[in-house]
Amino acid sequence: MNGIEKIIARIEEDAAATEAAIRAEHEEKLNALREKTDARIRDIRAEAEKKAAAERSEIEARAAQSGVTAARDRLLGAKRELIDEAFARAIASFADMDADTYRTIMGGYLAELVAEKEFAGASCTLVVPEKAPCTADDLIAFAGAKAKKAVAHVETSAKMPAGFLLKTGEIESPCTPDKLIGSRKEELTAAVASVLFGA
pLDDT digits 0-9 by tens, 34-54: 676 666 667 666 776 677 677
Q: How far apart are CA 154 and CA 118, in angstroms?
A: 19
Q: How far apart are CA 173 and CA 114, in angstroms?
A: 10
Q: CB-side exposure of 133: number of CA atoms within 13 Å?
A: 18
> Hey, is 71 helix, strand or coil?
helix
> Residues 21-28: contacts with CB within 8 Å, 24+ apart?
none
pLDDT digits 0-9 by tens, 85-110: 888 888 888 888 899 999 999 999 99
Residue 44 near residue 158, CB atoms below 8 Å = no
> Residues of the chain with pLDDT > 70: what percent?
72
pTM of the predicted model as reported, rounded to 2 decimal places: 0.59
Would you state the pLDDT for residue 138? Answer: 94
**Which DSSP string corresponds to 72-99?**
HHHHHHHHHHHHHHHHHHHHHHGGG--H
> Residues 183-186: contacts with CB within 8 Å, 24+ apart?
185/87
Q: How far apart are CA 91 and CA 185, in angstroms?
A: 11
198 DSSP 8-state letter:
-
Segments of the chain scoring below 50 in pLDDT: none
Would you state the pLDDT for residue 71? Answer: 74
Q: Which residues have a Cβ under 8 Å from the Cβ of 190 and sit 6 or more positions away?
A: none
Q: How far apart are CA 47 and CA 54, in angstroms?
A: 10
How far does Cα 85 stand from its chain's mean position?
Answer: 19
Would you state the pLDDT for residue 120? Answer: 79
Residue 155 near residue 126, CB atoms below 8 Å = yes
